[in-house]
Amino acid sequence: MEQNATEDQIQAVAAKVESFGLKSTIINGTERTVIAAIGEKRGSFKESIESFPGVSALTPISAPYKMASREVRTEPSTIQVGSFTAGGGHVGYVGGPCSVESEEQLISSARAVKAAGGTGLRGGAFKPRTSPYSFQGMKEEGLKLLAQAREETGLAVFTEVMATEDVDLVCRYADVLQVGARNMQNYRLLEAVGKSGKPVLLKRGASATMDEFLLAAEYILNEGNDQVMLCERGIRTFESHTRFTLPLASIPYLHRRTHLPVIIDPSHGTGHTYMVHDLAVAAVAAGADGLIIEMHPDPPNAQSDGYQSQTFEQFAETMTRCQKVQRALAE
């Protein structure tokens, strides 16, 4: 729309878009308002819309993902939930164990995250494990402990939802719904978390391309939920010195393609505790909007992912260093 377009003109164009059987979404930027028209191309659409008062230009969005595209929303999105903020210059720091195991384990972790300057608490209550014989998570009991930890520390709770039928349950306790790498292309689940209206941390599938990743985010956005964060957690390659290969190039690439915040997971991305610190610092230096890091009071005895989990001390050291880099970049 033109910079001085009136609210009536904006509403009239949105209604016209809908009359073509397309979905309209009004995006209010600081510079101008954009009306996204989503759907299949329609015959006389272009001519009809262009002649409406207040319309500046009709621009086809070349990216296959529309709502996620930077072409539609040119300014970076900021996601804010409780004390956690990511995007638009804010870096959100999430720490916590891979799995919620006990009250003592989770509450001590939450306190350590908070003390180190973290703003989000992670912890899996429903765990997607490669083997059906591995620990599957504490389920609702785990969710209750996460809510208790939030109560005590004020940290925003990030936890994975694995199945569509669990979305309501997880929403009752979580602040941010995590969709795991194995579920990145579970489209019914993406729609369900989209409908939930809760902020979502979408993890990249281990073999997903960037377009597939962004189209998965598009499923959530298409349900009217614009609180989506993209999490690069590493991809499967021929390399074996790391559990996955963590491409930090995803940060500038995604920042160019999308307005959504980019969160880096150096824990799954490397699979080795000793590498987590350096990759976390590098991610912040490369412009990441947030980090999600596994830490545990006793990593060797963790129920899952102990070999990539930091101790509380290591986590605190990583936080200090990352915040230092953040400050240096802001100068």
User: Who's near 88: CB < 8 A, 6+ residues apart?
Assistant: 75, 76, 77, 78, 261
To ligand PEP, the closest distance from the beta carbon of 56 in angstroms equals 41
Number of residues that bind ligand PEP (CB under 6 A): 9
The single residue among 181, 214, 221, 251 that binds ligand PEP, judged by CB under 6 A, is 181
Is residue 233 involved in binding ligand PEP (CB under 6 A)? Answer: yes
CB of 182 to ligand PEP, least distance (A): 6
Smallest gap from residue 205 Cβ to ligand PEP (A): 9
With CB under 5 to 8 Å by kind, the binding choice for 283 among Mn ion, ligand PEP, none is: none
In the complex, least distance from residue 59 CB atom to ligand PEP, rounded to whole angstroms = 35
In whole angstroms, the minimum distance from the beta carbon of 230 to ligand PEP comes to 12
Provide, rounded to whole angstroms, the least separation between the CB of residue 93 and ligand PEP: 15
- Least distance (Å) between residue 124 CB and ligand PEP: 5
Choose which of 118, 180, 194, 261 interacts with ligand PEP (CB under 6 A). 180
Q: Does 243 bind ligand PEP (CB under 6 A)?
A: no
Which of 91, 305, 312, 319 lies at the binding interface for Mn ion (CB under 5 A)?
305
Q: How far apart are CA 331 and CA 319, in angstroms?
A: 19
Which residue number has the CB closest to ligand PEP?
180
Q: Is residue 306 involved in binding ligand PEP (CB under 6 A)?
A: no
Determine if 232 is a binding residue for Mn ion (CB under 5 A). no
Interface with Mn ion (CB under 5 A), residue total 2
Complex with ligand PEP: residue 10 or 113, whichever CB lies closer: 113
Minimum CB distance to ligand PEP smaller for 32 or for 129: 129
Task: Round to whole Å and give the CA distance between 276 and 311.
Answer: 11
Please report whether residue 98 would count as binding Mn ion according to CB under 5 A.
Answer: yes
Binding residues (CB under 5 A) for Mn ion: these are 98, 305
Binding residues (CB under 6 A) for ligand PEP: these are 98, 124, 128, 180-182, 203, 233, 268
